[in-house]
Structure 1
Amino acid sequence: MKGYRISVLRHGMTEANEKGIYIGSTDLPLSDKGAADLAAKMDEFDYPTVHRVYSSPLKRCIETAEILFPYTELCPVDDLRELNFGDFENKSIDELAKRADYNQWLRGGKESRPPNGESLEELTARTYKALHAVIMDMMESGLTHCAMITHGGIISNMLSCFGIPKYPPTQITAEAGGGFDIIVTTQMWLNSQAFEILGYCPYDRIPDEEY
């Protein structure tokens, strides 16, 4: 049975990421360092050759896709955007640490949401919607390997909720410009809404053999 492979990658760093500031729906570009770090990763590791890139519509993801896959068709997917942190947006952990509503949110479950923000339950619902749309598009188009550029929270949520084997979100975090390869078959997805987690992406570069 045909398998459909997706390289799920986190965007490069922004200035807010570097300063430890919450950004979800805020549409920031990559920082100069973030863009340079992605270029350095391309020199150090092998990124796959893919048929299409599905991306969050936010600038930091679009710019990451243009750096890592400059000659590949790019398709923005609105539901791949990061969690909306509401009143916690653009604030650092140090700023929020003494706020009761922040600590309540950290202790809360899937239904807990930041003030004026989005809950984990809502995030999971649209993550499923985005993933389903991507997988269906790949199947209909006959594309066997594509990339997905999205956000750290989306990746951890996606893999912990729909991936096999099962991992807690804290064990499947993606670094900037990095992520995981997953593979899904039509039967797996339509019957179980699940995919298999294969391993890390990008790949270690195999040194040329010396003769």
Structure 2
Amino acid sequence: MKNYHIFLLRHGRTDANDRGQYIGTTDFPLNDRGRSELLDKLDSFVYPRVERVYTSPLLRCTETAELLFPNRETVIADEFRELHFGKFEGKTAEELVNNKEYMAWIRGGMDAKPPEGESVAELCIRTYQGFYRILLEMMQEDMTHIALITHGGVIANALACFGLPKLDPKQIRTEPGEGYEIQINPQMWQQAQAFEILGTVPFLPEETDTF
């Protein structure tokens, strides 16, 4: 059975990222530093050839898709928007360190959520739905390699929820414009809701013999 490759990539840097703010649904564009870093990565590394680019609907992701894959069809994947941080949107950890609701959320499990926000469990459910939809489209349209531009928290929790080998999401840190290659086997996905984590992207020039 054919395998399908998805390249999960984090969006470029924003002003809110530089300030250390929680931004989930807040729609920040890339800043000048973020754009410059992505262009530098395009010069120094090799991004995979893909047949389509899926992206979170937020500006920081759609703008990253335009920079990294300017000649590819782009499709919005709402399932891969960032976690909704509720009342903590726009705040930094330093501002919230004495907030009891914040500390309860940080110390809680997958079902814990910020006030008026979203839990990691809810995030994993919608990302599962997104992977299922994209896999079906890849199979129906005979695509084998696609890129998915999303958010650091989405990448970390998706790898922890569905990835093999198993990883701790708190140990997964993805730099802007970087990410992971995953391989989905339809039978494994159907039976175990799992995919293989193959490595990191983008590639060094000497790693691209197969592309």
Q: TM-score, normalised by structure 2?
A: 0.96
Structure 1 residue aligned with 2:174: 174
Partner secondary structure for residue 133 of structure 2: helix
**Map of 1:30 onto structure 2:** 30
The Cα shift of 1:2 comes to 1.1
Equivalent position of 2:196 in the other structure: 196
Counterpart position of 2:153 = 153
**1: distance between equivalents of 2:117 and 2:150?**
19
Question: Per-residue displacement from partner, 1:60-93 (whole Å, max 9, x unpaired)?
Answer: 0000000000000000011110000000000111
Query: Could you say what secondary structure the match of 2:36 adopts?
Result: helix
Counterpart contact for 1:7–1:201, Cα < 8 Å: yes
Structure 1 regions of 5+ residues with no counterpart?
none
C-alpha distance in 1 between matches for 2:171 and 2:113: 22
| Aligned mates of 1:56, 1:114 — CA distance in 2 | 21
* 2:163 paired residue number: 163
In structure 1, C-alpha distance between the alignment counterparts of 2:2 and 2:68, rounded to whole Å: 26
Residue type at the aligned position of 1:177: G
Q: Could you say which residue in structure 1 is the equivalent of 2:130?
A: 130
Cα distance between partner residues in 2 of 1:103 and 1:186: 39
Q: What SS is found at the alignment partner of 1:203?
A: coil
Q: Give 1:196 deviation, angstroms.
A: 0.6
User: How far off is 1:206 after superposition?
Assistant: 2.2
Cα displacement string for residues 101-141 of structure 1 (whole angstroms, at most 9, x for unaligned residues): 11111001111110111111111111111111111111111
Q: Which letter does structure 1 place at the counterpart of 2:92?
A: S
State the AA in 2 paired with 1:143. Answer: M
Q: Report whether the alignment pairs 1:112 with 2:112.
A: yes
CA contact (8 A) 1:155 1:173 kept: no
Q: Residue 188 of structure 1: CA displacement?
A: 1.3
Amino acid at match of 1:151: H
Tell me the secondary structure at the aligned position of residue 132 of structure 1: helix
Quote the Cα distance in structure 1 between the aligned partners of 2:7 and 2:119: 26
Distance 1:141 1:3 in 2: 14
Q: Secondary structure at the match of 1:64?
A: helix
How many angstroms apart in 1 are the aligned matches of 2:137 and 2:2? 15
Amino acid at match of 2:46: D
Q: What amino acid is the match of 1:48?
A: P
Shift of 1:192: 1.5
CA distance in 1: counterparts of 2:41 and 2:71, whole angstroms: 18
* Structure 1 runs, 4 residues or longer, greater than 6 Å off: none
| Partner Cα separation in structure 2 for residue 103 and residue 51 of structure 1 | 43
- Given the two structures, how large is their TM-score scaled by the length of structure 1? 0.96
Alignment of 1:25-64 (within 5 A): 25-64=25-64
CA distance in 2 between counterparts of 1:15 and 1:35 reads 12
Structure 2: which 5+ residue stretches go unaligned? Answer: none
Identity percentage of aligned residues: 51
- Tell me the distance in 1 between the aligned counterparts of 2:162 and 2:19: 31
